[in-house]
Amino acid sequence: MSNQAADIQIHPKFIVVRLDETEHWAESVRDQVSKIWSHYIYDEHMTTHLCSLQRSYYLRWVGFDIELTDPEDQISEELFYIVELGYQGNDLDRYYDCRPFDEVDRGADRKKVLTEGTEADGIPSWSKADSSPYDEAFEDIVDHYRGNPAW
């Protein structure tokens, strides 16, 4: 590989997406909710190939929200605790096929762009030769989102 290829600057395009993961919960929990959404952050400019020719995104789990059947109802402390406990102790980060994410419209209630992938975002570009600025930027955006969720 030439030095030129290693010096190419890449700008991340961080996106947060909500995935409906209600079906993975016990029936006793599903009976109390309309949906349980998991929130993940990924970089639309960073894909990988895992045991297939299809591109995949690395999704970083950053939180959840619960949607009740009746929006006027309040989430009970017990239900919130059960769901929160269900997420603890699990490796929630994952790789996922890009196609379903690329098909969801931006601005929809399931997908929001956090950065546009330009220098104006205030996130440094990085080169393939040194990914540490990228790793730090990813951690910073994850920490920021956890403190300021979009939903």
Average pLDDT over residues 62-75: 90
| pTM, entire model | 0.80
Give me the DSSP letters along 129-140. TB-HHHHHHHHH
**Segments making up each domain of the chain, as ranges:** 9-147
Give the closest residue to 121 by CA, choosing from 45, 38, 17, 8: 45
Kindly report, residue by residue over 41-67, the tens digit of the pLDDT. 999 888 888 888 889 999 999 999 999
pLDDT band at 130 (very low <50, low <70, confident <90, very high): low
Give the closest residue to 79 by CA, choosing from 39, 40, 25: 25
Which residues are CB-contacts of 104 (< 8 A; sequence separation ≥ 6)?
17, 110, 111
Q: Calculate the alpha carbon distances from 151 to 54, 63, 120, 148 in Å.
A: 30, 10, 24, 9
Across the chain, mean pLDDT equals 81
